[in-house]
């Protein structure tokens, strides 16, 4: 499962930077196949680190989705830049930081927000009342002119 798509790369880094590292010099077209492969490879790398602590596929919380998407984008951009000979120190630094974070997660020094499949709901207090009823059946809105 890919954690990011091409639109995420464009949103994170800007279309012009993604174009710079993915334009085919012969056809002058964006190499969408290379982008897809880089994102798939990044997701596989992320799974490799996270599978040490979390069951796959990940049940990501909203914050976890953002974290993992950013990691995938940073790793994928680095792969694309290195094949296009467009590597910069900043791109390499972002990938290095992403892999450091993944190593920290695998070593339980950091966390990715995921839902805990083993979590039990909190027990009800003895004074708590639960009701199960739908909205009012008869109201001035539903009765109309009666």
- Which tens digits make up the pLDDT trace of 40-96? 999 999 999 999 999 999 999 999 999 999 999 999 999 999 876 788 999 999 999
pLDDT at 124 > cutoff 80:
no
Residue 25 in any domain: the answer is: yes
Query: What CA–CA distance (Å, rounded) separates 68 from 46?
Result: 8
Residue 132 in any domain: the answer is: no
What range does the domain containing 99 cover? 6-106
Residue 52 in any domain: the answer is: yes
Rounded average pLDDT over 21-35? 91
Report the number of distinct structural domains present in the chain: 1
Check if the beta carbon of residue 22 is closer than 8 Å to that of residue 76.
Answer: no
Run of H or E including 76: helix 62-83
- Which tens digits make up the pLDDT trace of 91-116? 999 999 999 999 999 999 999 999 87
What's this model's pTM, rounded to 2 decimal places?
Answer: 0.78
Residue found by looking up tokens 């009012």 in the block: 136
Residue 138 in any domain: the answer is: no
């Amino acid at each position: 499962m890919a954690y990011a798509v091409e639109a995420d790369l464009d949103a994170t880094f800007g279309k012009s930077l993604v174009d710079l590292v993915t334009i085919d010099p012969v056809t002058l077209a964006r190499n969408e196949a290379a982008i897809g492969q880089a994102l798939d490879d990044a997701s596989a790398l992320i799974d490799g680190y996270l599978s040490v602590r979390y069951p796959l596929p990940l049940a990501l919380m909203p914050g976890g989705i953002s974290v993992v998407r950013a990691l995938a984008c940073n790793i994928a951009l680095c792969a694309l830049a290195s094949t296009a000979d467009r590597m910069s120190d900043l791109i390499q630094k972002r990938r290095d930081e992403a892999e450091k974070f993944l190593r920290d997660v695998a070593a339980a020094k950091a966390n990715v927000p995921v839902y805990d499949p083993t979590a039990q709901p909190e027990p009800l207090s003895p004074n708590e009342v639960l009701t199960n009823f739908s909205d009012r059946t008869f109201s001035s809105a539903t009765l109309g002119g009666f």
